[in-house]
Amino acid sequence: MRGDQKHSQYRVFHGGSLTSVMLLDVFSCPWYDNIVELEASFAEIASGDSVVPQEVIPLRMLVVACFLCSVLLTPLTATARTWHVRQDGSGDCTTIQACCDSAGWYDTVLVAPGTYPEHVSLDKSLVLISDAGPSVTTIVAPSITHPVLRMYYGGTVADGFTVRDALCLIGWPNVGGVYVGGGTLRNCLVVNNHAMGIDSPGDAGGVQVAGGGAIEGNTIVSNGNWVTAGGIYCLSNFNGQIVRNIVAMNNWGFGIYCEAGANPAFLCNNVWGNHEGEYGGACGNPTGVNGNISVDPLFCDRQNGDYRLCAGSPCINAPGCGQMGAFGVGCGPTAVTPTTWGRIKALYR
C-alpha cells in the first residue's frame, strides 16, 4: 500500500497519532467517511507503508455497522407515496381513514372535495391535505364517541379541512374537534364541535393540543365546553406554537385555556368574543404582545357559515403577522348605512 494512495477514509491511530492508513476497499460507509477512527496497537510496520495489527480488527462488525447505517439512514422520503381519496371510487380509497391506514410513514394522503362522515386517526407521521381547501372539504363527526380528527406523531400535518359537528361525550381524548398530540394543524376551519363528558366536563370543544404540536393559521369558531376551553385547550406538557389563528365567538368556555405547566408560544392570534373570556387557566393574557390582538375579525357572513374575511378585517395583512385564520378576503368592507340620531332612538321605543 502506498501512503499517497486514496482508499478508504477510515484512519488507524496508534497511541493517539496517525501511524498509517489501512486499506479497507471492501466497502464504503458514506455517513461515517472522515469521522470513523480506529484505535489499534501494532506489532510491526513491515515495510514502512503497511501495517499488521497485533490484534485483529473486527472488520465483520464494521461492515455490518455500515450496512445498517446505509439502510436505516437512507432518506425515507425518496420512496414516499401520494394516496388519493375520492368518493367516486376513482382514487385509491373512498374514505380518508382507509388511505391513512394503507399509507406508510411520511406518505401524503390527498383528499378530493366532499363531505366525509368519519372519525380520522393518524397513527403514523404523514401529510393529510385537502385538494381544494376547507371551503369544499369537510370531515363531519358520525357519532359522539371520539374527536373528529386525532394526530399523535411529530411530523404529521393536517391541512385544509373543515372539521365540524362533534359532540364528544365519552372516550379519550376528551375533545370534540381535533386532538393534536404531535404535528401541525394548519389552514383548517374548526366549527360547531362540543365536548361535555359524562363523568367529567371535558377539556375542549374545538382543539386539544399536547407536546410539541403546533396550531397554525386556523379559524376556530362556535365550539363549546362547559368549563374550560371552547376553542383551544393546552395540556400541561404543551410547549409548541399557536400562531396566526382566529379563535372567536366560541359559545361555551374560554377561547384558549392552559393547564399549569403548559408553555405555549402565542404569536399573531386574534382571540375575541369568547363566552368565558379570551384566555383562561395558566395562559396569561398575551393580547398586545407579539402580534396578538382581540378585535372583531369581521367575517363575511358568520350566521350562514361564511368565515371568509371582509376587506377591512384586522386579520388581513396584520403588521408583522400577515393573514390570520384559514380564509382570505371573501367580501367587500362591512356596509355602513347613513342614519340620524333620531332614527337610532326610534329603534328602542
For the chain, percent of residues with pLDDT exceeding 70: 68
Residue 273 to residue 289: CA distance in whole angstroms:
18
Q: Are 207 and 173 within 8 A, CB to CB?
A: no
What is the reported pTM? 0.73
Which tens digits make up the pLDDT trace of 151-182? 999 999 999 999 998 776 665 677 888 999 99
Q: What is the mean pLDDT of residues 204-209?
A: 86
Q: Is 32 exposed, middle or buried (0-12, 13-18, 19+ CB in 10 A)?
A: middle
Predicted local distance difference test score (pLDDT) of residue 23:
33
User: What is the distance in angstroms between the CA of the first residue and the CA of the last residue of the chain?
Assistant: 106
Q: Is the model's pLDDT at 333 over the cut of 90?
A: no
Residue ranges of the domains in the chain? 11-72, 81-331
Predicted local distance difference test score (pLDDT) of residue 59:
42
Residue 20 — very low, low, confident or very high, per pLDDT cuts 50/70/90? very low
Residue 276 to residue 21: CA distance in whole angstroms:
72
Predicted local distance difference test score (pLDDT) of residue 339:
52
